[in-house]
Amino acid sequence: MERIVVKIGSSSLTSDEGGLHKPNIQFFASELAQLHQQGKQVMLVTSGAVAAGFREIGYEARPKLVHQKQAAAAVGQALLMQAYQEAFLQYGIVTAQILLTRNDFSNRKRINNALMTIEELLSQRIIPIINENDTVSTAEIILKFGDNDHLSSLVATMTKASRLVIITDMDGLYTADPRKNPNATKIERVAQISEELLQLAGGAGSAVGTGGMRSKIEAARIAMRGGVTTFIGRVQQAGELLSAIHGHGRGTYFDTEEHSLPMKKQWLGFHSTPSGTITVDHGAAIALQERHKSLLPAGVVSCAGEFHPGDVVEVLNEEGLLIGRGVVNYASWQLKAAAGLSSDEVERRIDVQRIEVIHRDEWITLM
């Protein structure tokens, strides 16, 4: 049974002045209901709690202080869910609310519990409606999820969805901002996301949202790495969501040849909290990325941060670019002493349980 994650941002659900735009919610419910009625397992990642609540709470504009955002979200989340429930009940569909934070994904037990809940809801033909728990998240976390773009990609990879649809007010990715440059050309399909492609994306979106095209492309990169095909584009007319699913949507498709990752690799690559960094030389970078080898101390140039065996670390190449993450077998002080040495020399000098700095089974490439 095909699984689809659909992400809808604040600007698609609320008016420019704030507050829910009920006709839009009813429209998206009708589009999602069509997928549901075709037998697909549908998950909705929604933004809009802060935008829905700040007018109700008495603020004249979207608040900027964290405690004000959290207060607005506490009011707006209830309004948002009520609107969705009323809209979906017209089609006989039951919905469920799931609120997540970045910390939930960092904790393997908690995110596994969330996954089991989602699996049970889907098996009962209930649509999970997932949002960030803004009322307990910190400012750093709120920014990191990028209007739930990041959250939608994590949900898609976690649940092994076949497709992620990110709905926005732009009909895809362009070579330049089409609102400013008449020569801008739409990019129909993307097979690999490069730094140059990310630079094409602009900043934040509308006044009621926090996500821009860049955060959506970064979300697509996570989804693609997890084996999930992604669509970023516009859904405004009846039937356009189905068109997007079937490959004829008004947007950009991000294709992938990757397979879905096991939960352990997902947690390592996308959910874990690194304790430090390791910089490796060119040969070690090639061995990790292309030859699927373990990292040996001879390939280590330097390390930063304080970490211990079993901690997660990020690995950088000599240009300072992130190439992946892994579970380290050395303490930071041990690795500083072992950096650049041969395996035989390390065994003579340093008491470590495993000679590999990072074993290939405890590694994921992210570049």
Is 149 annotated in some ligand binding site?
Answer: no
For residue 24 the two structure tokens come to 């839009």
Residue 341 CB burial class (10 angstroms; 0-12, 13-18, ≥19): middle
Judge residue 165's burial from the number of C-beta atoms within 10 Å of its C-beta, 0-12 exposed, 13-18 middle, 19 or more buried: buried
Q: Is the dihedral of CA 83, 112, 66, 135 positive or negative?
A: positive
The response to whether 213 counts as a known ligand-binding position is: yes
Residue 211, marked binder: yes
DSSP, res 258: P
Q: 148 labelled as ligand-binding?
A: yes
On whether 7 is known to bind a ligand per the annotation, the reply is yes
Do the Cβ atoms of 23 and 34 come closer than 8 Å?
no
Is 281 marked within a binding site?
A: no
- State yes or no: 264 annotated in a binding site: no
Q: Is 212 annotated as a binding residue?
A: yes
Specify the amino acid at residue 280: V
Distance CA 173, CA 261 (A): 26
134 is in an annotated binding site: yes
Find out whether 168 is annotated in a ligand binding site: yes
Q: Smallest Cα–Cα separation from 44: which of 210, 166, 206?
A: 166
CB 279 within 8 A of CB 326: no
Residues at the binding site are 7, 47, 134, 148, 168-169, 210-216
Residues at the binding site for substrate are 47, 134, 148
Residues at the binding site for ATP are 7, 168-169, 210-216
